[in-house]
C-alpha cells in the first residue's frame, strides 16, 4: 500500500486492489485451510475439542461475515471472500442454483456440515476428506474470476487498474496448487500475470489451462461453467466420448478429431476426381480436418495422413511380406 519495492511504480488504485484481493483470496484462504487441516490433525491426536474449534474457525475465515447478522450464513449474504465471489460469478458462468446462490456455495456449505458431522462421530478419515474437498473447491470461484478478467483485460488498454490488479492477485493465489497438478497449466498462468494486465495470453488459452486441472479439483468442465466468448475447448470434450457413424459407434473418450481423418480421405478423393492433384497432395501432406492439441487442449496444428504413412513405414509392418 505504501508503494515499496516492485509496487513503487504502480498507482494507488492498483496497489489497493492488489492488496485487498490478496487478503481476500490468498491470506484468508490459506488461514482457513490451515485450520481445516489442523482440525484433522487434532482429530487424529484425540484432541476433539481443539479439532472442533479449528474446524469452526476455518469455516468463519472462509465464509466471512454476513451483511445481516440476524440471519444464518448460507452464502447469499456473504460480504467478501469465496462465497461472495462464487455468487458474483455464477450468473456469468451459468452455475447458479435455483435458489439464486452459486452451486459452489451449496457444495462448500455441505462440506462444512460434513466436517462438523464427522467430528461429532469422531471420524477423522471422513474429516480429512471434507477438509481436502473444501481446500480444493474454495479455489474454483477464483478460477472463474481469472477467466472472466482474462476476457476483460486482454488487449484492452482502457482496463482500469483495479481489474488488472485483481487478475494478478487471483492468479498468484491459485498458482501453487495448479503447479502441483499441471506444471504446463501453471506456466500459462504465470505468463499472464503481468503488471500491465493480461495482454499477452489469449483468454481461451488461460481458460484451457484452468479447465485442464478442473478434474483434479473434483469437478468437471460443466461444473465450472463457461463465460462467453470462451468455450470449453478440447480438454473438456476429451472425456465426454464420441458418437460416430450416426450412433452406430460410441467411445469412452472423445476421438472426433482422429475420426476426422476420414474427411481428409473424402476431400482428397474429390480433388483427385476433379483432376486437382496439387490440392490432393496438399491435404495429404499438410492435413485439413483433423486438429492436434497439446496437453492443455490448445490447437497445435493438423494431423496428417502422411504422418500415419511415415509411422507405418518405420513400424512393425515395414518388413512384413504381406504388406510389401
pLDDT in tens, 191-201: 887 655 555 67
The better pLDDT of the pair 299, 61 is held by 61
Contacts of 235 (CB under 8 A, 6+ apart): 208, 211, 212, 221, 293, 296, 297
For the four alpha carbons of 56, 59, 65 and 67, in that order, the dihedral sign comes to negative
Res 142: pLDDT: 93
22: three-class secondary structure by DSSP: helix
pLDDT in tens, 14-56: 888 888 888 888 999 999 999 999 999 999 999 999 999 999 9
Listed range (22-31, 105-114, 211-220, 279-288) with the worst mean pLDDT: 211-220
Cα separations (Å) of 254 from 112, 212, 225, 242, 262? 36, 15, 19, 5, 16
Could you tell me the three cell numbers for 126? 471422513
Distance CA 36, CA 30 (A): 10
Distance CA 206, CA 213 (A): 12
Contacts of 55 (CB under 8 A, 6+ apart): 35, 36, 39, 115, 116, 119, 127
The better pLDDT of the pair 208, 76 is held by 208
pLDDT at 207 > cutoff 80? yes
pLDDT at 68 > cutoff 70? no
pLDDT at 139 > cutoff 80? yes
Q: What percent of the chain has pLDDT over 90?
A: 36
pLDDT at 230 > cutoff 60? yes
The structure's pTM equals 0.74
Listed range (134-143, 181-190, 295-304) with the worst mean pLDDT: 295-304
Where are any strands of DSSP class E within the chain? 243-244, 249-250, 291-293, 299-302
Q: Which of 26, 29, 297 shows the shortest CA–CA distance to 188?
A: 297
Confidence of residue 72 (pLDDT cuts 50, 70, 90): very low
pLDDT in tens, 151-177: 888 866 666 778 888 888 899 899 999
Res 75: pLDDT: 45
pLDDT at 91 > cutoff 90? yes
Res 132: pLDDT: 94
CB-count burial class (<10 Å; 0-12, 13-18, 19+) for 120: exposed
Amino acid at each position: 500500500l505504501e508503494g515499496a519495492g516492485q509496487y513503487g511504480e504502480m498507482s494507488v488504485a492498483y496497489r489497493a486492489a492488489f492488496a485487498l484481493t490478496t487478503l481476500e483470496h490468498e491470506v484468508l484462504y490459506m488461514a482457513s485451510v490451515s485450520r481445516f487441516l489442523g482440525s484433522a490433525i487434532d482429530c487424529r491426536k484425540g484432541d476433539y475439542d481443539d479439532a472442533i474449534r479449528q474446524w469452526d474457525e476455518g469455516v468463519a475465515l472462509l465464509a466471512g461475515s454476513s451483511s445481516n447478522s440476524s440471519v444464518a450464513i448460507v452464502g447469499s449474504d456473504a460480504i467478501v471472500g469465496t462465497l461472495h465471489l462464487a455468487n458474483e460469478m455464477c450468473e456469468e458462468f451459468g452455475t447458479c442454483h435455483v435458489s439464486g446462490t452459486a452451486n459452489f456455495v451449496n457444495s462448500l456449505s455441505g462440506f462444512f456440515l460434513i466436517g462438523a458431522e464427522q467430528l461429532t462421530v469422531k471420524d477423522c478419515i471422513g474429516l480429512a476428506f471434507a477438509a481436502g474437498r473444501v481446500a480444493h473447491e474454495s479455489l474454483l470461484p477464483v478460477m472463474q474470476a481469472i477467466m472472466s478478467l482474462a476476457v476483460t483485460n486482454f488487449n484492452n488498454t482502457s482496463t482500469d487498474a483495479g481489474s488488472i490488479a485483481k487478475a494478478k492477485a487471483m492468479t498468484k493465489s491459485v498458482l501453487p496448487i495448479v503447479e502441483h497438478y499441471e506444471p504446463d497449466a501453471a506456466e500459462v498462468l504465470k505468463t499472464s500475470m503481468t503488471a500491465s494486465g493480461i495482454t499477452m495470453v489469449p483468454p481461451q488459452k488461460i481458460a484451457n489451462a484452468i479447465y485442464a486441472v478442473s478434474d483434479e479439483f473434483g469437478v468437471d468442465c460443466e461444473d465450472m461453467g463457461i463465460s462467453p466468448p470462451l468455450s470449453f475447448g478440447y480438454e473438456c470434450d476429451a472425456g465426454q466420448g464420441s458418437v460416430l457413424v450416426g450412433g452406430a459407434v460410441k467411445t469412452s473418450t472423445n476421438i472426433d478429431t482422429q475420426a476426422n481423418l476420414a474427411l481428409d480421405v473424402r476431400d482428397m478423393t474429390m480433388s483427385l476426381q476433379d483432376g486437382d492433384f496439387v490440392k490432393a497432395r496438399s491435404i495429404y501432406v499438410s492435413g485439413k480436418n483433423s486438429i492436434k492439441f497439446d496437453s492443455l487442449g490448445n490447437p497445435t496444428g493438423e494431423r496428417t495422413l502422411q504422418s500415419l504413412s511415415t509411422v507405418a513405414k518405420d513400424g512393425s509392418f515395414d518388413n512384413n511380406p504381406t504388406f510389401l
